[in-house]
Amino acid sequence: MENHDKLHSDMTGWRRHLHRHPEFGFEEQKTAAFVAEKLRGFGLEVAEGVGGTGVVGTLKRGTSNRAIALRADMDALRITEAGKSDWASATPGTMHACGHDGHTAMLLGAARMLAEEGGFDGTIRFLFQPAEEWGRGALAMLEDGLMSRFPFDEVYGLHNMPGLPVGHLETRPGAIMSAEDNFEITLRGKGGHSSRPQWGREVMVPACALVLDLQTIVSRRLNPTQTGVVSVTELLTDGTRNALPGTARILGDARSFDAGVSATIEAEMRRIAEGIGVLHGIEATVSYSREFVPLINDPELTAAAFEAASGVSESAVGDCEPMTGSEDFARFLDYVPGTFVFIGNGEGSAPLHHPEFDFNDAALLHGARVHVAIARGRLSPTG
């Protein structure tokens, strides 16, 4: 491999700057300006404000009319950082707890490498996307005319993965990340004094029963060969220590790789909630939305990307297990084929979305090289 010590040092500085100055989805004004400035400095054509705060850089070499896209996400999370590094978040209540600062720095590094060294024939679009955590950023860029304004034939993305060694890469053809459905179930009854439950129709006991009964959707209503997850993440009431609640809200999400499974989960959830309402004499309503679609890697392009990326990775697995996390990179795949890969963030890394998470700077050069290898492999000057 080429020696890129200076690039690695620069990427580390970029990454730490971004980590110290996180911005939430669709608020990435300073992040986008930083990205645009760097891309222009590398000699790329740059468009800002795509889908709100998205940035698209374009780099052309040779005479081929083929075009591919490489994508990174830029947004942070509403989490208070627990880390004490010199580059810890300076924005209270917001931090890069998913490594998007690293993803942005790696794609900037790849852009500089490809601008300085070439090695491809065609057009590369560098997509810096807002609001991935919302599941809205890719859609916003697409709705803003991304495909007509900056056309490309294929798209590639990557994500850091805690627990995998630095330099390690994993991917798979077909479904690699799940859909995410969000739900909110509202129970309405009649609260009252905790010493006189018979005078009302309190909702705490029905809510607790409902939380447990929802777990039977996966264990008893799905085919055991199908993958599904139903997770209740919040139970909110209007009660207090000595007052039984009259209203309860149960919120959570469901994961699946198949539209039929998603439909079954929703139908069973509505049936169970309705039954709980009848049983306890209360009103039960269900709000159910589909926020992320399954991420389905194109088999042919996954094989090609894996072959290219394996050459710059210390180890690689091409048939990893699918994961039930979600990614709105999947929205791009409704328009063009592509693939998504995971790279190691270190075996000692804190989990994603954890207040002590920090992107591993040792992984920056590996990620940049993966982007570059895929781009050169897909836009080979030799055809």
**DSSP track, 313-340:** SSEEESSPPPBS---GGGGGGGTS-EEE
How wide is the angle at C-alpha 105 spanned by C-alphas 101 and 107, nearest 5°? 120
Residue extents of the structural domains in the chain: 5-177+294-378, 179-292
103 is annotated as contributing to ligand binding: no
Burial of 343 (0-12, 13-18, 19+ CB in 10 A): buried
Taking residue 232's Cβ as centre, other Cβ atoms within 10 Å add up to 17
133 is annotated as contributing to ligand binding: yes
Q: Residues 57, 125: contact at Cβ < 8 Å?
A: yes
320 is annotated as contributing to ligand binding: no
Assigned token pair, 8:
């690695």
Matching CATH topology for 5-177+294-378 and 179-292?
no
Q: Residues 283, 188: contact at Cβ < 8 Å?
A: yes
Kindly report, residue by residue over 42-52, the tens digit of the pLDDT: 999 999 999 99
Kindly report, residue by residue over 269-306, the tens digit of the pLDDT: 999 999 999 999 999 999 999 999 999 999 999 999 99
Unique residue bearing structure tokens 């090289």: 369
CATH of domain 5-177+294-378: 3.40.630.10
Predicted local distance difference test score (pLDDT) of residue 382: 81
Query: Does this model's pTM top 0.85?
Result: yes
156's enclosing H/E stretch is strand 154-161
CATH of domain 179-292: 3.30.70.360
Q: Residues 348, 362: contact at Cβ < 8 Å?
A: no
Q: Residues 290, 135: contact at Cβ < 8 Å?
A: no
In the predicted model, what is the mean pLDDT of the chain?
A: 97
